[in-house]
Structure 1
Amino acid sequence: MTAFRFAVVAALAVTALAAAPATAQPLAEFYSTPVIDAGAHAGGDIVRRSHVGPPLGEGLGVDIERILYTSTDTHGDPMVVSGYTMTPQAPWPGPGPRPVIAYAPGTSGMADRCAGSAVLGTIGSSPAVLPLLLAGYAVAATDYRGLGTPGGHTYLNRLDAGHALLDVARAGVGNTGAPVVLFGYSEGGHAAGSAAELESSYAPELDIRGSYVGAPPADPSLNVDNLDNSSLAPALLYAVDGLVNAYPESADAILRQFNPAGRELLDASQNWCSTDPAANRAFRSADITSDGRSLGENLKDEPAASLIALNAVGYGRPSAPVLLSQSMSDDTVPVQQSRTLRDRWTAAGFTDLTYIEYPIPSVPVPGANHAPGGLIAYADVMPFIARVLAS
């Protein structure tokens, strides 16, 4: 199928999934009611589930469930993560159990109302879901730590995201022994790359056949200056919020680098979705730091520098084939991110890597050059998935 046809299918996915209710009180209670015995469960155990009926679900020919499942956070402690599963109602035509695509969504924001399972993929997620379902695969998607469930979202935290993706794969597979492909673009690319490195030690029982890693902000330290003083700058706030939420012991030291206006923005951004007007307003980071230096310069100081380094992907080694791709004109996640990840994996001795750069023409609209790299990649991603599942 051509990249254009996949783009059309993706647009239909956005329209079809847009009707998902996200504000009803029972749905809020689904996420907020405490899971008392989370620590007694193994990673990937589903501890709460809610069937999604028409107009979604059966109306689209798929069975959909919102789920809460158990995982392990960056400190090794148990955590509860939300997500969803989608399974086509048509019988799987291939041999063996229906494959599971463990799906890591792109950036949707920091607020619980942005969670992919709450809006069923309409923010940052939709383009991949319907093509995968049309191919007959089941989808198990994570919301990441703190999106949906109580607590702050730990944006671009390597272990939180990688564990959450592997555990939603466990939730999707259940006791079927189904093969798994990891799939992520943008923030999801960071998660998929992390999970690809972690799976042999964290989830060795999973039959992971490969990973698609698209436009990953694999090293957060390389994704600062290009966003500053642009309408994409709020993503810098998400990155700082992610550090504060994941490492509360370092929060005071990090927040001291911001002036009162900066701290106010950081607090506000914890409640933004990427579609909110406030999340698309330009600002100059030097105007919100306590010393007048740019955020890029401040993040080179401790403790932020060491924490960011802990969350860079590329210092491990995947144990299954990887397709890594990116648009050369991406202005949100520079192509140097993928080139750096490619080089780090290659230096680590990983050879089963397919690397593609797409020469997509740039348009003079900030942020508009990011999504096309994911859309055009479908023409390569879908055959890649079919190939690794057939191996």
Structure 2
Amino acid sequence: MNEPPTGDDFYRAPELDLHRRPGELLHRRPVTTPDLPGAYRAWQLVYATRTSHKAPIPASGIVITAGPNAATDRAPILLYCPVFRGLGGDTAASQLLTRDESEPETEFISSALERGWTVAVPDGQGMGLTGLGPHAFLAGRAAAHAVLDLARATLRLPELIAAEAPCAAWGYADGGRAAAWAAELQPDYAPELDLRGIAAGAVIADPGRLAADMDGGPLAGLTLAGLIGLTRAYTHLPVTHLITAEGHRAIERAQTMTAAEVITTFEQVPLEAWCERPDPWNDPLWRYVLANKTAGRATPHARVHLYHGTEDTLVPVAMGRDLFTEYRTRGVDLSWREYSTGHAQTAIDGAREAVSRLASYLRSPRLTRPPFTQPLTN
């Protein structure tokens, strides 16, 4: 696996044993965030988390405080889940935020800092740290673990008095998927966390459905990225059985690429170019994998705000509506907003209400469970 362009020893992945607790701080260092309005102090973290199948693995992230009172006032913690950055490359949020260059989600992170919240941003499994890639793109359980364990690590930061601080999560697109999965898994995986609510926009709730829509089109590279990410998450299964020798070479090229590089390199190349059958997503093993990557299979106990653009050509609005319906049948404390715009503009237009909803959730008492629940579906 390629070394990070910075050659930074801080991001060399440590080996973990089974005794490491999820959320345990492995190491940290103070950093500055020169282009982040509203930031006061910040730390890059490496912490223990779990893969999709609960094997110990390190992950990286960054924690940013809004002012000098954050260490004494138990400021609420916002877990900000970034959009898909790539399978590798030099695009981890914890690294970009410390440089004099544009971090694509600065405005959203700053809007939370303006509220006086502490913001924790996970890089995601396989991003940031050396030797752990490719990023487990579309693996919902892995993403949720990275989010929830960063919350645990933040609460344990010695520089903060945060042990009783309430939390919320926010994300858009792939970040919305991570936030939604975090809310679904939190009652069982991290029941001690005081997760008051989430805001999730344009949630990729059904990766298999989205992959079929994208395959062979301008964003076909994201389909290949999804195959690579899920292959990484399911290393214990023979999920590469359909991939040809040429496909393995394409994967080797793609697994260190940024999102932009994946999209431009594999534009309009159908997945069948790398597989032994024209419809690999319909293979029984892949149907099993994708069925387990669908959001809405468990019940969040936190409040949920979902939003989506009616003109979204990347993540269809019907996918968001279906997730809203599923959560509603489970008795989740829920709100929904549609915007008459496309994918990118909805991220901007929906941010103000998302932050307002999160502020309301953080002021409200913690929900222990919804009014009624349904069992986990298979």
Question: Shorter-chain-normalised TM-score: which range?
Answer: 0.7 to 0.9
The question of whether the paired residues in 2 share the 8 Å contact of 1:73 and 1:160 is answered with yes
Q: 2:56 is aligned with what amino acid?
A: P
Q: Distance in 1 between matches of 2:35 and 2:332?
A: 41
Q: 1:67 is aligned with what amino acid?
A: L
Corresponding position: 1:300 with 2:285: no
Alignment equivalent of 1:76, drawn from 51, 54, 58: 54
Q: 1:329 is aligned with what amino acid?
A: E
The question of whether the paired residues in 1 share the 8 Å contact of 2:82 and 2:93 is answered with yes
Structure with the higher helix share, 1 or 2: 1
Residue 133 of structure 1 corresponds to 113
Residue 45 of structure 1 corresponds to 24
Q: Distance in 2 between matches of 1:37 and 1:163?
A: 16
| Deviation, structure 1 residue 89 | 2.2
Corresponding position: 1:85 with 2:67: no
Residue 319 of structure 1 corresponds to 301
Tell me the SS of whatever aligns to 1:339.
helix
Q: Distance in 2 between matches of 1:71 and 1:214?
A: 25
Deviation digits for residues 204-238 of structure 1 (CA, Å, limit 9, x no counterpart)? 11111101111111111110233223331111111
| Deviation, structure 1 residue 37 | 4.7
**Unpaired segments of 5 or more residues in structure 2?**
157-161, 365-378
Write the mapping of 1:339-378 to structure 2, written as runs, cut at 5 A.
Answer: 339-347=321-329, 349-360=330-341, 369-378=342-351
Corresponding position: 1:204 with 2:191: yes
Alignment equivalent of 1:285, drawn from 228, 248, 270: 270
Residue 223 to residue 82, structure 1, CA distance change in 2 (3 Å): same
| Deviation, structure 1 residue 200 | 1.0
The question of whether the paired residues in 1 share the 8 Å contact of 2:219 and 2:263 is answered with no
Corresponding position: 1:167 with 2:152: no
Q: Distance in 2 between matches of 1:170 and 1:54?
A: 22
TM (norm. structure 1) is 0.83
Residue 174 of structure 2 corresponds to 187
Deviation digits for residues 145-175 of structure 1 (CA, Å, limit 9, x no counterpart)? 1111232211111211111111111122235
Deviation digits for residues 307-355 of structure 1 (CA, Å, limit 9, x no counterpart)? 11111110100101100111111111111221121122223x2241101
Alignment equivalent of 2:258, drawn from 264, 268, 273: 273
Q: Distance in 2 between matches of 1:194 and 1:145?
A: 14
**Unpaired segments of 5 or more residues in structure 1?**
1-21, 361-368
The question of whether the paired residues in 2 share the 8 Å contact of 1:192 and 1:213 is answered with yes
The question of whether the paired residues in 2 share the 8 Å contact of 1:38 and 1:80 is answered with no
Residue 344 to residue 282, structure 1, CA distance change in 2 (3 Å): same
TM (norm. structure 2) is 0.86
Residue 146 to residue 231, structure 1, CA distance change in 2 (3 Å): same
Corresponding position: 1:213 with 2:200: yes
Tell me the SS of whatever aligns to 1:39.
coil
Q: Distance in 2 between matches of 1:225 and 1:370?
A: 18
Alignment equivalent of 2:316, drawn from 324, 328, 334: 334
Deviation digits for residues 96-138 of structure 1 (CA, Å, limit 9, x no counterpart)? 5200001111100000522211212956543421111122111
Residue 278 to residue 185, structure 1, CA distance change in 2 (3 Å): closer
Q: Distance in 1 between matches of 2:272 and 2:189?
A: 42
Q: Distance in 1 between matches of 2:19 and 2:264?
A: 38
| Deviation, structure 1 residue 262 | 3.1
Q: Distance in 1 between matches of 2:236 and 2:358?
A: 41
Q: Distance in 2 between matches of 1:229 and 1:81?
A: 33
Deviation digits for residues 74-95 of structure 1 (CA, Å, limit 9, x no counterpart)? 11211111111111124359x9
Q: Distance in 2 between matches of 1:278 and 1:333?
A: 16
Tell me the SS of whatever aligns to 1:340.
helix
Residue 91 of structure 2 corresponds to 114
The question of whether the paired residues in 1 share the 8 Å contact of 2:59 and 2:123 is answered with yes
Residue 317 to residue 75, structure 1, CA distance change in 2 (3 Å): same
> Percent identity of the aligned residues?
27
Matched residues, number: 351
Residue 11 of structure 1 corresponds to none
Tell me the SS of whatever aligns to 1:288.
helix
Tell me the SS of whatever aligns to 2:132.
coil
The question of whether the paired residues in 2 share the 8 Å contact of 1:127 and 1:375 is answered with no
List 4+ stretches of structure 1 deviating above 6 A.
Answer: none
Q: Distance in 2 between matches of 1:359 and 1:238?
A: 29
Q: Distance in 2 between matches of 1:289 and 1:281?
A: 11
Residue 357 of structure 2 corresponds to 384
Corresponding position: 1:224 with 2:211: yes
Q: 2:235 is aligned with what amino acid?
A: P
The question of whether the paired residues in 2 share the 8 Å contact of 1:156 and 1:239 is answered with yes
Residue 280 to residue 358, structure 1, CA distance change in 2 (3 Å): farther
